[in-house]
Amino acid sequence: MKKNIHFLFAVVFLFTAVLLTLLSCKKDNDRNSNGEIPDETSSYWEDDYRRECLHGKVKSVIEYSSEEQLNAGFYTQKLFDQNGNRVEDANYKDGKLYEGGKFKHNAQNNITRWDYYSGYKLDGITEYTYGGPNSHNAYLPSDFNNESLGLTKGITGVRWYSADSGEELFSLKCTSVKGNQIDLRVGGSYFGFKEDEENYIVIKTKGAYPAELTAKGPNVDPNNAKVAELFYGNDGIPNKIILPGSKTNSIMDFILKDGFCMLSSQVKVDVATGATENIWKFTYNSKGYLESESYRNGTPITYQYEYDAKGNWTKQESSKGEILYRKYTYR
């Protein structure tokens, strides 16, 4: 079970996207030259290998449950280009791509397109844009329903549309950058947005990273509009995420293990009483791989590994008897 930071960013922004059905606010077209957002570079968010918990210059990773399944064409595959950018993350059946993504990048190694496949065919396309009158230096989410894209610097637009019909399903457009605040207009039919309404999500940054996400609009209670709070250590690596709720707050804490940012615990806190409920707890070994996990104080599931010369695991065996294998190629 992979519990790194990208999973949680997917949770945060999927949750955000659901709330966006409530949003609307007045558009601000004032131009701004980055305001209080500094121009800095995160070695973590610029490194797909670290975010994928991989050691060395990996070219491919194939994960499978047995040699029989692998020979029958049932496996997952991740591919990386010569610059270390992840260009494929997909499940295969009968040796054919069944479900997952292929990714394209620009000369700056920023993602520009994500092709999502489902049921052996191209299902949806997400395109990313940069620059323009509301350009900025902030690291914004490049992921809304995939686990591992994380944050990418300078995104000013996201458009997800149907590969079959071309219908726009979801979109974000940066319409204003003032000081440390970035306004993103939201559209698309997937969540029932109306074309004559101006729906927004507002991101306030701390340094170059999103620190607070808020919904604004006629159907949103201003006292219950905050979507997420994020707290960071060095290099833009989060150490805590809080998802506020009307009755409970979900709090996720992270640790660094061998350079990898990993979820260590998730708890729910009752807003009225302050009572805490443990949801997930994780520990990791010295190489940064999952060592144990427990759900709601249940019996922990533990994991043991075998490794290759680079330090990447080649066999993972759980205390439940489940076994996974990996094969790597390197540049």
| Residue in this structure with the two tokens 């396309």, named with its chain if needed | 125
Integer Rg of the chain from CA = 20
Domain of residue 39, residue span: 5-330
pLDDT of residue 144: 57
Is residue 182 classed as helix, strand or coil in its secondary structure? strand
Q: Are 85 and 48 in contact (CB under 8 A)?
A: yes
Q: Are 183 and 176 in contact (CB under 8 A)?
A: yes
Is residue 5 classed as helix, strand or coil in its secondary structure? helix
| Residue in this structure with the two tokens 């726009």, named with its chain if needed | 168
Burial bucket for residue 312 (CB in 10 Å: 0-12, 13-18, 19+): buried
Amino acid at 197: E
Is residue 73 classed as helix, strand or coil in its secondary structure? coil
pLDDT of residue 75: 98
pLDDT of residue 32: 37
User: pLDDT of the chain along its 331 residues, tens only?
Assistant: 445 444 444 444 444 443 443 343 333 333 334 457 999 999 999 999 998 999 999 999 999 999 999 999 999 999 999 999 999 999 999 999 999 999 999 999 999 999 999 999 999 999 999 999 999 999 988 865 545 547 899 999 999 999 999 999 999 999 999 999 999 988 888 877 777 777 888 999 999 999 999 987 667 777 888 889 999 998 999 899 999 988 999 999 999 998 899 999 999 999 999 999 999 999 999 999 999 999 998 999 999 999 999 999 999 999 999 999 999 999 9
Count of domains for the chain: 1
Question: How far is C-alpha 181 from the chain's CA centre?
Answer: 21
**pTM of the complete model:** 0.85
- The CA distance from 90 to 75, in Å, is 9
At 22, phi and psi to the nearest 5?
A: -95, -5
Tokens matching residue 256: 């660094």
At 4, phi and psi to the nearest 5?
A: -100, -175
